Structure 1
Amino acid sequence: MFANIKQDLRAQGGDFGAQGFWALVVYRFGRWRYGVRPAWLRKPLSLIYKVLFKFVQILTGIELPCEAVIGPGFVIDHFGGIVISGYARFGANCRIRNGVVVGLGRVDEPTAPVFGDNVDIGAGAKVLGPIRIGNNVVIGANAVVLCDVPDDCLAVGVPAVVKPRTRRTPAAAGGGDAA
């Protein structure tokens, strides 16, 4: 647990005051308590987790249940209005922003998106249903993603349209010398 928290702090730029970091600390505690034996000792820790979870949810507007699976390097940029389903799975080095919802497509179908590594989710995006988001994907602000997104793509719009990502060279980005 403490190694994960240390890594989370590093991913948040060392900012103890980052509300995304607070949510991650409570998340890590919630995951850690599952391994506590015997069960009589785990029960009071579960109560503490539930109180901390609700406190962070009210204070920061971040709902990050410990049932979700989050890889290393997860960053919550900007707090508020973030709801993540306990069925969601995130790979390494993912980043989310305010107003993001990751959840079920339908309440009678308890499955949520599975994210690859290096996924960047823009503010206000909604990613819903039993879909897979590949590696190195960017989801644009306010996009509504309801379909799979392959590796190295960009998803933008409502509903989201998937486009291949183009990598700009420094010269194309205006950083090169004109001849």
Structure 2
Amino acid sequence: MGVPLLPRCLYLLNRILFAVVLPPSVKVGKGVTFAYQGLGVVVHERAVLGSNIYVGAQVVIGGRAGRHEVPVIHDGVFLGVGAKILGPVVIGAGAVVAAGAVVLSDVAPGSRVAGVPAKPIRASGK
């Protein structure tokens, strides 16, 4: 049995209006916020998003060539504008991924990462 009609219609509407690729098969927790109606966001069909996540515009949560696994984003994560989460990575609860970061490896809970490829950073003043 395929995907019900309403989720398919919403998927197509979002894709046309906001350039959002968010397949109905994505597991999304409660309280997930997509900035600017998810403008330019692309999420892999098997990705898992926990609860209370902020997803900035132009974020990509996707696979990586030659890898079957896809990202798992835990609760309370902040994904800055243009962040790319690629491959079999886990973003721990409460982590912050800076704008434009490219995450290719796991991010520890509560940590902050930035850069290409993303690496842990310290908060200013600490």
Same fold (TM over 0.5): yes
Task: Pick the aligned partner of 2:35 from 60, 74, 77.
Answer: 77
Partner-residue secondary structure (3-state), 1:112: coil
Higher helix share: 1
- 1:46 deviation in Å? 2.5
Partner-residue secondary structure (3-state), 1:59: helix
Aligned to 1:128: 86
Instruction: Tell me the matched-pair count.
Output: 125
- 1:95 deviation in Å? 0.7
- 1:60 deviation in Å? 1.3
Are the equivalent residues in 1 in contact too, given 2:32–2:53 (CA < 8 A)? Answer: yes
Are the equivalent residues in 2 in contact too, given 1:87–1:110 (CA < 8 A)? Answer: no
Equivalents in 2 of 1:110, 1:54: separation in Å?
25
Higher RCO by CA contacts (8 Å cutoff, separation 6 or greater): 2
Are the equivalent residues in 2 in contact too, given 1:77–1:97 (CA < 8 A)? Answer: yes
**Structure 1 pair 128/122, CA: closer, same or farther in 2 (3 Å)?**
same
Equivalents in 1 of 2:91, 2:97: separation in Å?
9
Partner-residue secondary structure (3-state), 2:93: coil
Normalised TM-score (structure 2): 0.88
Are the equivalent residues in 1 in contact too, given 2:101–2:114 (CA < 8 A)? Answer: yes
- Where has structure 1 moved over 6 Å in runs of 4 or more? none
Higher strand share: 2
Partner-residue secondary structure (3-state), 2:121: strand
Q: Which runs of 5+ in 2 are unaligned?
A: none
Q: Sequence identity of aligned pairs in percent?
A: 33
- 1:149 deviation in Å? 0.4
Aligned to 2:120: 162
- 1:167 deviation in Å? 8.9
Larger CA Rg, structure 1 vs 2: 1
Aligned to 1:103: 62
Are the equivalent residues in 1 in contact too, given 2:97–2:113 (CA < 8 A)? Answer: yes
